[in-house]
Copies of this chain bind each other. A is one copy, B any other.
């Protein structure tokens, strides 16, 4: 049931429409949860029905109207309660790691190709997160911002996302190097 809390958490800092929420979750900066558009729309409907958020219609010209949602007091209480529940352990679930597990039994060049793709993606995300962080803290240093900034939650989760992608990248690079070296050694024999 964490999706609903993820949506609540995302709506804390600003009123968003379903579409904007989808963008925030799907495109790029899904730094703290990942979800499909349809899931989000469905969850918004459920959350409103349960009174944890309220929506208001915004009439627009030259484009479809939208509904902006914000968290209610009941929603805030729900989030606070959620914080009290035990967090389940986080775990790895990554296609690419499965492929590497089988590294000794599959084609090395293909695998290196996949790892190279992923390394590039990870690097792009690292840069993106870096930019997001710089934007959030403005002209303050990180220390300064974390000490005295108003809302640090999103910054902290973004830091986790950054470290995760950095870890992804480093691991890919290391793994590529290992596989390359072994392939070269094989040829020499």
Question: Which of A's residues lie within 8 Å of B, judged by CB?
Answer: 2, 5-6, 8-10, 12, 30-34, 76, 79-80, 82-84, 86-107, 110-111, 114, 117-118, 121, 146-148, 150-154, 156-157, 159-161, 163-164, 167-168, 170-171, 174-175, 178, 181-182, 185
A178-B153 in contact (CB<8A): no
B87-A114 in contact (CB<8A): yes
Residues of B within 8 A of A99 (CB): 5, 9, 82-83, 87
Residues of B within 8 A of A31 (CB): 92, 97
| Given contacts A95-B2, A160-B92, A9 and B101 within 8 Å (CB-CB) | yes
- The quantity of this chain's copies bound in the complex is 2
B92-A30 in contact (CB<8A): yes
A79-B95 in contact (CB<8A): no
A30-B118 in contact (CB<8A): no
A94 to B162 Cα, complex, angstroms: 15
Pick from A84, A87, A97, A117 the residue with the most CB of B within 10 Å. Answer: A97
- What are 27 A-B contacts defined by CB distance under 8 Å? A5-B102, A6-B101, A12-B102, A12-B104, A12-B105, A32-B97, A32-B100, A33-B92, A33-B98, A79-B102, A79-B105, A79-B106, A80-B110, A86-B114, A87-B99, A87-B118, A89-B121, A90-B93, A97-B160, A100-B153, A104-B152, A104-B153, A147-B185, A159-B174, A160-B167, A163-B170, A164-B164
